[in-house]
C-alpha cells in the first residue's frame, strides 16, 4: 500500500525523493517522510501527517543536503495517521533510519522483548519495532548492517518491503522485500529504489525487480549485490522498462481519473493490438495457445480477484460459460484463501489484478498452485508479482493507472477476458464461426463507440450536479449489466463517499424496493438486450413508487426514455460487449458527482491503489 523511494548517487537526493513520493502518492497519503544523510554526515529525518505537500512545507527551512536518502508515503495499517507514526523511523541511537511497506505480524512479541532490553518506542507502528530490532542485532553481534538486516528478517513474520540507511556508512542502502513490491533502478553512477517504476523512469530504463525474501545491497561505485535471507546469492536480472514519462502526467486534465477515463479508446486498442489480426478474423493469446490442452480439458475455471477486478471477473464468468461451456466460479481472493476450497488438478485458476501485487490474490495463487491447479494471470503491471508467480497469463497493456478508483484497468480486463473466451471457445469448438467473427468485429468497434460516449461528458457533468444532495444510490442491471451495476456503485462510493449499492434488477422486489422514494436516485442500466422487457417492468415498478430513475439506454430507445427522469444514450453493441460501453457513463457520473462535492477524486480518503497487505 505505502510508497517507498530511495536514492544514492551524485545528485541531491531530496528533490528526487520528493518527486518520487508525488508519483507514488496514489499508494498512500496519510503521512509522508524523508531521511537524508546530510553533507555533514548527520542523519536527518523529516516527516509530517498529511500529503507529500505537507512534508515539503515542513522541510522547506531544514537541512536537505545529501546525495543519499530514503522516503515514504503512508497508508496507515498499525497506528493512526500522525507525525509520530509517519515513516522513516529512527533506531534508538538515531544511527539508522528505516521505511517499510507491509505488516509485521509478530511485532508485539518482538516489541515486548526489545522493551525488556531497554528499548523505548515513540510510535504505535510495527515498523519502529523492526528498525530497533536491526539496531539491537547490529550492536549485540558487532556485525555490519547487511548481516543485521538478514538476521532480523529471519525473525520476522509478515510482509515487507524495506529500505535502511546508516549514518556511519553514507555510501550504502540496504533494501529487502517479501510479498510487497520493490524495484531497483540502475543509472550511471547512481541507483534508485521504489515500490514501482514510476519514480525511476525519468532517470533510467534499467531495473531489477526483487523477488520474495531477497535483500539488495546498493553501494556507490559497485554493482548491486542480491542475497536471500537464507544467505543464497542471487544473480541480478536487469530488465528494460516499457514506460514513458508522459504516461505519468495529467496531460492537461484536472485529475488523473478523468484522464484515464478519456484514455480508454486508446488503451483498449493497445489491449487488442497484436492479438486480433488486421482482418478481424482471429484472436491469438499466446498464454492460451501455449497451454491450449489445459483450457480445452479444464473441469472448471475459478476466477479470483478483489474489488473492481472481481466485477470484471463476473463478466468473464458470463462470457466463458456462454461461449466456452466451462463452469466458472468467481471468488473474492480474501475469502478464497481462508475457506479451505476444493481445488482439482484439472481446474484453471485465473487471477485478475491491476497492480499484480494484491496480497490476497497472491496468497490465493499460492493455495491454488499447491493444489496442483494451473494458474493464469491477468495483470497490467509488467514485472509485478502475479505474472512472476503464475504459469501463464495476459497483460492488459493499459498503461499506468494513477487514479485510485480504477477505470481503464476495468475495461482492459473485460477486453482481455472477452478475447480469452473467444480463443478458448474456438479451440473447444463451442462457438459458431459466424458468432465468433461477429464478436471479434464488434470488439474492434468498441474504442470508436467509447469515443462517442465521451462526447457526452458535459451533459453528464450537468446531470451530476442534480444529485449531489443524495445520501444513497441504487444501481440496477440484469445479465451482463449486473456486474456493471456493482462497478458503477463502487465508483460512486469510492470517490464521492455516497452510499451506493448494486443489485440485479429483479432482486429489487426482494428487499431494496423498500428504500425507494422520491429522494432515492436509481441508476438503471437498460440497454437493448435479451431481457430488455424485464428491465422495462422493473423501471415501471420504481416509477410507481416515486423513485427517480437515471437510465443508461441504447441508441433508438423510446420506451425507457419516456419512463425515466433522466437518460444517457449510448451506442448499441452486442449484449456480451455491452459492459465495455455502459460502464463509461457511470465512471463519468461518479467522477462529476465527486467533483461537485469537492472530493479529492484521485486520492479518496482511506483508500490506496495497490492493496499489498491484508
Q: Tally the domains of the chain.
A: 3
Overall average pLDDT of the 379-401 stretch: 88
pLDDT in tens, 317-326: 999 999 999 9
The CATH number linked to 19 is: 3.60.20.10
| Of 569 and 389, more confident | 569
Range 150-167 average pLDDT:
94
Is 612 domain-assigned?
A: no
Query: Does any domain span residue 609?
Result: no
Render pLDDT for 278-292 as a digit per residue (tens, 0 to 9). Answer: 888 999 999 999 999
CA atoms within 13 A on the CB side of 242: 8
Whether 447 and 478 map to the same domain: the answer is no
Question: What is the phi-psi region of residue 606: left when phi exceeds 0, alpha when psi lies from -120 to 50, beta otherwise?
Answer: left
Asked if residue 611 is part of any domain, the answer here is no
Same domain membership, residue 238 and residue 279: no
Does 461 lie in the same domain as 429? no
Asked whether residue 608 is domain-assigned, the answer is: no
Q: How confident is the model at residue 144 (pLDDT cuts 50, 70, 90)?
A: very high
| Claim to verify: residue 365 and residue 464 sit in the same structural domain | no
Q: Do 467 and 449 share a structural domain?
A: no
Q: pLDDT for 65-88, tens place per residue?
A: 999 999 999 877 777 889 999 999
Specify whether the CB–CB gap between 350 and 316 falls below 8 A. Answer: yes
In a shared domain, residues 549 and 561: yes
Do 28 and 163 sit in the same domain of this protein? yes
Q: Which of 245, 271, 306 is the last residue of a domain?
A: 245
| 470 and 448 part of one domain | no
Q: What is the mean pLDDT of residues 559-581?
A: 94
pTM: 0.81
Of 245, 274, 297, the one marking the end of a domain is: 245
Q: Which of 245, 266, 298 is the last residue of a domain?
A: 245
% of the chain beyond a pLDDT of 90: 72
What φ, ψ does residue 295 adopt, rounded to 5°? -75, -40
Claim to verify: residue 443 and residue 465 sit in the same structural domain: no
Structural domain boundaries, residue 38: 3-245
Which H, E and C letters describe 314-357, residue by residue?
HHHHHHHHHHHCCCEEEEEHHHHCCCCCCCCCCEEEEEEECCCC
Average pLDDT over residues 10-33: 92
pLDDT at residue 614, rounded to an integer: 55
Does residue 518 lie in a domain region? Answer: yes
582 and 547 co-located in one domain: yes
What does the pLDDT read at residue 223? 93
Indicate whether 530 pLDDT > 90.
no
3-state secondary structure of 588: helix
On whether residue 227 sits in a domain, the answer given is yes
User: Average pLDDT, stretch 6-18?
Assistant: 97
Residues 142, 231, single domain; the answer is yes
- The burial class, CB within 10 Å (0-12 / 13-18 / 19+), for 266 is middle
In a domain, 387, yes or no: yes
Residue 294: pLDDT band by 50, 70, 90 thresholds? Answer: very high
Separation between Cα atoms, residue 84 and residue 318, nearest integer Å: 49
Q: How far apart are CA 545 and CA 126, in angstroms?
A: 53
Active-site residue list:
2, 609
Residue 459 has pLDDT above 80, yes or no: yes
Whether 34 and 129 map to the same domain: the answer is yes
pLDDT in tens, 221-258: 999 999 999 999 998 889 888 766 667 677 789 999 99
CATH at residue 571: 3.40.50.10490
Q: Answer whether residue 250 is part of any domain.
A: no
Region 394-405 average pLDDT? 90
Which pLDDT score is estimated for 97? Answer: 97
Q: Share the mean pLDDT of the chain.
A: 92
Amino acid at each position: 500500500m505505502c510508497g517507498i523511494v530511495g536514492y544514492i548517487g551524485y545528485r541531491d537526493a531530496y528533490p528526487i525523493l520528493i518527486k518520487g513520493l508525488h508519483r507514488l502518492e496514489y499508494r498512500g497519503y496519510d503521512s509522508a517522510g524523508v531521511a537524508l544523510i546530510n553533507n555533514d554526515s548527520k542523519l536527518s529525518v523529516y516527516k509530517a501527517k498529511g500529503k507529500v505537500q505537507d512534508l515539503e512545507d515542513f522541510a522547506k527551512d531544514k537541512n536537505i543536503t545529501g546525495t543519499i536518502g530514503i522516503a515514504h508515503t503512508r497508508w496507515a495499517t498499525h497506528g493512526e495517521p500522525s507525525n509520530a507514526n509517519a515513516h522513516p523511523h529512527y533506531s534508538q541511537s538515531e544511527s539508522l533510519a528505516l521505511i517499510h511497506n507491509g505488516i509485521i505480524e509478530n511485532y508485539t512479541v518482538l516489541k515486548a522483548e526489545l522493551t525488556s532490553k531497554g528499548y523505548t518506542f515513540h510510535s504505535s507502528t510495527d515498523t519502529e519495532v523492526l528498525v530497533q530490532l536491526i539496531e539491537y542485532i547490529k550492536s549485540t553481534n558487532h556485525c555490519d548492517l547487511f548481516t543485521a538486516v538478514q538476521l532480523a528478517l529471519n525473525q520476522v513474520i509478515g510482509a515487507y518491503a524495506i529500505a535502511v540507511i546508516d549514518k556511519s556508512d553514507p555510501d550504502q542502502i540496504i533494501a529487502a522485500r517479501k510479498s510487497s513490491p520493490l524495484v531497483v533502478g540502475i543509472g550511471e553512477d547512481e541507483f534508485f529504489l521504489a515500490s514501482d517504476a514510476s519514480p525511476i523512469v525519468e532517470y533510467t530504463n534499467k531495473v531489477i525487480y526483487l523477488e520474495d525474501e531477497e535483500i539488495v545491497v546498493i553501494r556507490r561505485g559497485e554493482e548491486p549485490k542480491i542475497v536471500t535471507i537464507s544467505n543464497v546469492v542471487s544473480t541480478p536480472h536487469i530488465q528494460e522498462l516499457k514506460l514513458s514519462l508522459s504516461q505519468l502526467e495529467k496531460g492537461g486534465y484536472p485529475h488523473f481519473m478523468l484522464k484515464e477515463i478519456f484514455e480508454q479508446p486508446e488503451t483498449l486498442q493497445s489491449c487488442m493490438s497484436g492479438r486480433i489480426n488486421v482482418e478481424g478474423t482471429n484472436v491469438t493469446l499466446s498464454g492460451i495457445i501455449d497451454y491450449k490442452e489445459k483450457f480445452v480439458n479444464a473441469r472448471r475455471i475459478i476466477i479470483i480477484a478483489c474489488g473492481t477486478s472481481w466485477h470484471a471477473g463476473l463478466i468473464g464468468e458470463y462470457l466463458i460459460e456462454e461461449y466456452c461451456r466451462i463452469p466458472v466460479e468467481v471468488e473474492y481472493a480474501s475469502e478464497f484463501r481462508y475457506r479451505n476450497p476444493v481445488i482439482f488438478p484439472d481446474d484453471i485458476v485465473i487471477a485478475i489484478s491491476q497492480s499484480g501485487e494484491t496480497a490476497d490474490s497472491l496468497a490465493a495463487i499460492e493455495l491454488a498452485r499447491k493444489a496442483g491447479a494451473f494458474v493464469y494471470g491477468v495483470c497490467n503491471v509488467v514485472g509485478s508479482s502475479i505474472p512472476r508467480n503464475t504459469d501463464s497469463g495476459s497483460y492488459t497493456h493499459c498503461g499506468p493507472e494513477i487514479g485510485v478508483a480504477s477505470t481503464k484497468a476495468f475495461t482492459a480486463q473485460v477486453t482481455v477476458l472477452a478475447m480469452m473466451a473467444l480463443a478458448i471457445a474456438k479451440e473447444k469448438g463451442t462457438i459458431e464461426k459466424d458468432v465468433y467473427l461477429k464478436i471479434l468485429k464488434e470488439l474492434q468497434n468498441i474504442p470508436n463507440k467509447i469515443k462517442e460516449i465521451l462526447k457526452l461528458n458535459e451533459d453528464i457533468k450537468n446531470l451530476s450536479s442534480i444529485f449531489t444532495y443524495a445520501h444513497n444510490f441504487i444501481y440496477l442491471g440484469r445479465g451482463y449489466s449486473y456486474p456493471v451495476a456493482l462497478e458503477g456503485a463502487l465508483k460512486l462510493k469510492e470517490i464521492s463517499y455516497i452510499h451506493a449499492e448494486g443489485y440485479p434488477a429483479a432482486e429489487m422486489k426482494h428487499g431494496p424496493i423498500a428504500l425507494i422514494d422520491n429522494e432515492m436516485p436509481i441508476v438503471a442500466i437498460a440497454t437493448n438486450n435479451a431481457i430488455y422487457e424485464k428491465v422495462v417492468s422493473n423501471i415501471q415498478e420504481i416509477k410507481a413508487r416515486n423513485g427517480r430513475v437515471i437510465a443508461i439506454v441504447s441508441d433508438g430507445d423510446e420506451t425507457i426514455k419516456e419512463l425515466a427522469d433522466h437518460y444517457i444514450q449510448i451506442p448499441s453493441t452486442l449484449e456480451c460487449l455491452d459492459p465495455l460501453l455502459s460502464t463509461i457513463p457511470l465512471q463519468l457520473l461518479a467522477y462529476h458527482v465527486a467533483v461537485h462535492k469537492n472530493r479529492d477524486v484521485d486520492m479518496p480518503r482511506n483508500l490506496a491503489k495497490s492493496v499489498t497487505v491484508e
